[in-house]
Structure 1
């Protein structure tokens, strides 16, 4: 399992690696170097014969209807419900033809991330994910819909948010769709108190920095997948939500005790824009930054 990361999701088509979708990605490019994310509108077309190299998940925003066959087998007509998720066949030649236009979001999870998730779950032997033509899994759907919304908005929450979704996707795929059984899903995986304190201090000292899951994991001395599970077990929330909470907490202090503008406070606390800062602040504090400052 050594598929390299790619800014585009690719497949072997006509003897060469080409983009899986012939259309341009709709929306911003993924901020993650390991999770390719693409939004497309599948269009009625002739047969496309391809071999997908990586682990690709496709969320159907609209209901989908395709013709599909593997290795020249019998052609099947497949209906995918709205918000159904397709786990693509890996390293098998398949032919696909869209029978109806449909909006989709496809992501490719890097092999390294899946392997780290497997080790965190106690799987130390080779494994394969099982393909599925349209699974209804509310957890997969929720994660992919969150990515879809984030991608359409230009990734205002940054890479840490995407890293968290990627880690959750990998853990869910390995625990629910691999051909092996995890052995440690119920083990205590909380961070030791000293490491938890170290991570919190590191986070507070770097609120202005666009930290990634890898940055936080390295501070604790864990792999990103192991750290993600341990962090949630320790703090009761995701690293991204934890960082957002710390940033809003710091912003409240600056609004009360400094003369910095809203934009300066937003940038100082690690928000990309004053608009994103105001939206997140109001969501957590119940009032806008300007209102919070006025009331004092």
Structure 2
């Protein structure tokens, strides 16, 4: 199992008006989401820059291995998402044979991409405390979506239908249950099924109707319910044993699944 990261890198930055353009060169695949209205000038030739007026929420899919000159005409805040090569390699391996690249565009109009970028942004801001499996799953979903919709490979091969074999699914679920007290990665679970991470994620969804992350949360909550039936077990111990980083994260997730707090659930069961 490779230790190479398949989690996207998220960076917020501010652009100011400038008189001289700045050279940009991305060796990795980069998306830029506009966080507030801004006017940018950029192009591949310093002598002929084009002006683009953007609204908040719009996304630019930047070209890889291409020199660009960029300057701001107005101030604005931007969000840059860098997709690691390993995520693209895994996704491309399931959808195409041979080399594959993405067709860059100044305006990427796909609400699905916007939703995935927003999830990565919220995780980066700490709006919700996601674990490694969540971040990797979103990154892989984003890589697979971009390859399906913007990939330029001519050797496209659809993903076969079906799901995990019963033995594969049993191994993965058993592994999840045996390691509920710690953080799990998508690659780690995929290894149990002997599949690549993006393909595993799709096959798991077809088999269970849930993403690996959502399914794992359900198992964590089931374990928590069992432990909460014992009045002598401290809430903090329940949280840690079920793989939650903090009691706040545990309580918030428990409410989502059960519509009441862990303490209220314990009182209800014991009374």
Q: Is the 8 A contact 1:71 1:92 kept in 2?
A: no
In structure 1, what is the Cα distance between the partners aligned to 2:144 and 2:103? 14
Tell which deviates more after alignment, 49-58 or 251-260: 251-260
User: Does 2:97 align with 1:124?
Assistant: yes
Correspondence for 1:202 among 147, 163, 175: 175
> 1:63–1:102: 8 Å Cα contact kept in structure 2?
yes
* Structure 2 match to 1:145: 118
Please give the alpha-carbon distance, in whole angstroms, between the structure 1 residues aligned to 2:183 and 2:128.
12
TM-score (norm 2): 0.92
Partner of 1:56: 30
Give the structure 2 partner of residue 175 of structure 1: 148
Deviation digits for residues 58-85 of structure 1, max 9, x if unmatched? Answer: 1222223201121335211112222111
Cα deviation for residue 118 of structure 1 reads 1.4
**2:6 touches 2:140 (CA, 8 Å); kept in 1?**
no
Q: Which moved more, 1:159-168 or 1:43-52?
A: 43-52
**CA distance in 1: counterparts of 2:130 and 2:24, whole angstroms:** 34
Q: In 2, distance between residues paired with 1:224 and 1:288?
A: 34
Say which SS state the counterpart of residue 49 (structure 1) adopts: strand
Which residue is 2:44 aligned to? 70
State the TM-score, normalizing by the size of structure 1: 0.85
Q: Structure 1's 288 and 34: CA in aligned 2 closer, same or farther, altered over 3 A?
A: closer
Note the alpha carbon deviations across 1:43-67, whole angstroms, 9 max, x for none. Answer: 3334211211110011222223201
Q: What is the CA–CA distance in structure 1 between the aligned matches of 2:162 and 2:140, rounded to whole Å?
A: 15
2:231 and 2:192 map into 1 onto residues whose CA distance is: 31
- Relative distance call for 1:258 and 1:198 in structure 2 (3 A) is farther
Cα–Cα, structure 1 residues 61 and 189, in superposed 2: closer, same or farther, change >3 Å? farther
Deviates more, 1:132-141 or 1:34-43: 34-43
Give the structure 2 partner of residue 283 of structure 1: 256
Alignment match of 2:80 (pick from 84, 97, 106) = 106
Query: How far apart, in 1, do the equivalents of 2:12 and 2:162 lie?
Result: 35
**Cα offset, 1:94, TM superposition:** 0.8
| Greater helix fraction, Structure 1 or Structure 2 | 2
1:42 Cα deviation from its structure 2 partner: 2.7
Q: Deviations over 1:152-190 (max 9, x none)?
A: 0176111111000011011001100011253214x2141
Unaligned 5+ segments in structure 2 are none
Shift of 1:131: 0.8
